[in-house]
Structure 1
Amino acid sequence: MVHPLVAEIGSPSKFDRIVAELTETGLSICDDFISPLLVNSMAHEARSLWQQGAFRHARVGRGSSLQVRPEIRNDNICWLDPENLTAIQRPYFNDLEILRHHINSKLFLGLFEFEGHFALYPQGSFYNIHYDRFIGALERMVTCIIYLNHEWTAEDGGALQLHEGTAASSLSLPMQVLPQGGRLVCFLSEAFPHEVLAANRDRLSLTGWFRIRP
């Protein structure tokens, strides 16, 4: 089931609606969060970084246990530096900062920074079911994913599939969300185990997390 709940582009209350949906269900899906022009510019920048060799195989685990496990995930990532954003990245990060303040003002989560990376899933790539927040690394509170794909369809695969966690949910789960360009998906990181289904074409996103202090 593809989630139907979206916010309209240009709405002055899109940040409030995202927070309201996070409060109600722990999940918000907002189409056209950024403009098509910015989607294309960010996608072009990500592909340029890929060609320059800036991406690395994504790893699983943390600290000294980090390792490449292609049977679990086989995407490629390029971490971004919030202190040295490009002119193309800055408008999106400015919107994230507005969203961070809205979330803090309503949910009192104490979010203080965003960390994120470009993620490229070559054709056939996937990421098995996992949580974004796990024992020993509890700083990640809210997951935010902006998709950078042009004219994505269900036949292209690569959906984000959200599953029910330990707490009961009012959502109809499992739920599939297509990675359509400009779509922002936000959810409470500890609430939803999720996976990326195999894509039938290259799949691009900027994936990250609002964090609290350790």
Structure 2
Amino acid sequence: MAQTLYTDDGSSNKFDRIVADLAESGLSICDDFVSPLLVSSIAQEARELWEAGEFRHARVGRGASLQLRPDVRNDRIHWLDPENPTAVELPYFLDLETLRQYINRHFYLGLFEYEGHFALYPPGASYDTHYDRFIGAMERVVTCILYLNHDWQAEDGGALEIYPGHEPSELPLPMQILPKGGRLVTFISEQFPHAVLPAGRDRLSLTGWFRIRP
């Protein structure tokens, strides 16, 4: 049976905490990674983009194999430009840059850039089990998901479900992680297959990856 894990950030340095979690298990759950005010501001920006028609149906695959597969995933996404963030996005991207430097300092991964998008799952939408690192493409190394949902409750559904991968893990897998606003989930992209379960209300996140050079 899947278990639900909650992790409190407490008073420790959030970047040290995330790096320690990644070293121990490959997965980190950091609540209140950003302030409630910033969560609300970013979520508002995403909803304004949604209302302006700036989101598109997400696709699966890459390159020539990219295709629309609503039977696999049926969320909507809007890609961001980390090189030119809006004033609202800037504080989060600055935190991500600090996190990238911390991870590189501890693991020597050579992470050099971030790519990310808003993801909105309307009620009932989901994403089947998948890895974030594509077969034959090694660029995506670390996944970072910031949730932007106000007052999310267990009965709302929409959990991120993490499954055992190819390597043994001491984590209580499978594990369900609720998309609570301000929560940052960070994990090694090739280590954990995962899925997004259907929710009873709109589910919003800022999902992205630290990458290495091809």
Q: TM-score range by the shorter chain?
A: over 0.9
**Distance between the aligned counterparts of 2:110 and 2:23, measured in 1?**
15
* Alignment of 1:2 onto 2:4: yes
The percentage of counterpart residues that share the same residue type is 68
Q: What is aligned with 2:197?
A: 197
Partner of 1:55: 55
Partner of 1:91: 91
Aligned to 2:106: 106
Residue segments in structure 1 that go unaligned for 5+ positions in a row: none
TM-score, reference length from structure 2? 0.97
Question: What's the Cα RMSD here?
Answer: 0.8
2:129 paired residue number: 129
**Contact 2:147/2:182, CA 8 A, preserved across alignment:** yes
Q: What does 1:175-194 correspond to in 2, within 5 Å?
A: 175-194=175-194
How many equivalent residue pairs?
A: 212
- Structure 2 unaligned regions, length at least 5: none
1:209 is paired with a residue whose SS is: strand
**2:151 equivalent in structure 1:** 151
Q: Which residue matches 1:64? A: 64
| Runs of 4+ with >4 A deviation | none
User: What SS is found at the alignment partner of 1:17?
Assistant: helix
Whole-angstrom CA distance in 2 between matches of 1:118 and 1:24: 29
Report the Cα distance in structure 1 between the residues aligned to 2:127 and 2:96, rounded to whole angstroms: 25
**Counterpart residue type for residue 167 of structure 2:** A
Shift of 1:12: 5.3
**In the alignment, is the contact (CA less than 8 A) between 2:129 and 2:195 conserved in 1?**
yes
Secondary structure at the counterpart of residue 4 of structure 2: coil
Q: Which secondary structure does the structure 2 equivalent of 1:129 belong to?
A: strand
With normalisation by structure 1, the TM-score equals 0.97
**Shift of residue 198, structure 1, vs aligned partner:** 0.4
